[in-house]
Each structure stands twice: as C-alpha cells, then as structure tokens.
Amino acid sequence: MLIAKISPAAQIVTESDPFAPVTTIAEYMAAVARPYALGATMVNFQVTYGILVPAPEGSPVGTLDSFQGQLNTYVTLSGDQLTSWGIDDTVILNEIAGVVGTTVVETLTVQSDSF
C-alpha cells in the first residue's frame, strides 16, 4: 500500500474523558477510491489518516512497516484533478493533500489491513 507522509500532520482529538482529551498526531495519509468506475469523471476517495508502526525488531529482511489508520474522511476529485492520475498513485495523494490543506513530504510502501 502506498501512503504519504504529510506536513502539517493531522491532529485527531479523542475524548474518552471530558477532562482529559487525547491528541494523536497522524503524520501519514492513505486513500482508496470508493467506488472506482473505469473512466469516471468524478471519484470519491476514502482518506485515512494514521501512524506508521515500525516492523518488529528481528523481522525477516524485506518486512515492511505497517500503517495504522486513526480517522477516515472523504474527498471527491473530478476533472483536471483526475486526468493526470494514470497508474501513479502519488498524483492522487498530492491532489488530495492539496484539497485538505496539507502537503506530501514523501511516499512510502507499507503493509496495511485498514482497507
């Protein structure tokens, strides 16, 4: 799975106790077209913000870090935002980052069970 490290990072505030909210800094973003129809002129993307969990110490060579989603949102792209997509998903991650007000710093390939 391709994910993007973003700046600024998303801040996810959860409140299990009204006197002690917890803020999670989600430095990574992933996106999946939901649904995607070949040739569509408008596509809805499920955008997931999350954290990167390093591969356990002693993992076999080639074991990837994993992405742990923390929050889902949706972004719809159309027209010129989709025309340059092709087979390079970094294009879409950059478009989505621009829409939500962040920037892609780098992209990484990781494992994920989120999707």
DSSP state of 20: S
What pairs with residue 84 in β-bridges?
none
The pLDDT tens digits for 59-114 are: 887 777 889 999 999 999 998 888 888 888 999 999 999 999 999 999 998 876 65
Cis peptide before 35 (omega within 30 of 0): yes
- Under DSSP, is residue 90 helix (H, G, I), strand (E, B) or coil? helix
Per-position DSSP letters for 21-54, written without gaps between them? -EEEEEEEEEEEESS--TT-SEEEEEEEEEEEEP
The reported pTM is: 0.86
The pLDDT tens digits for 45-72 are: 999 999 998 888 888 877 778 899 999 9
Distances 13 to 31, 45, 82 between C-alpha atoms, Å? 21, 22, 32
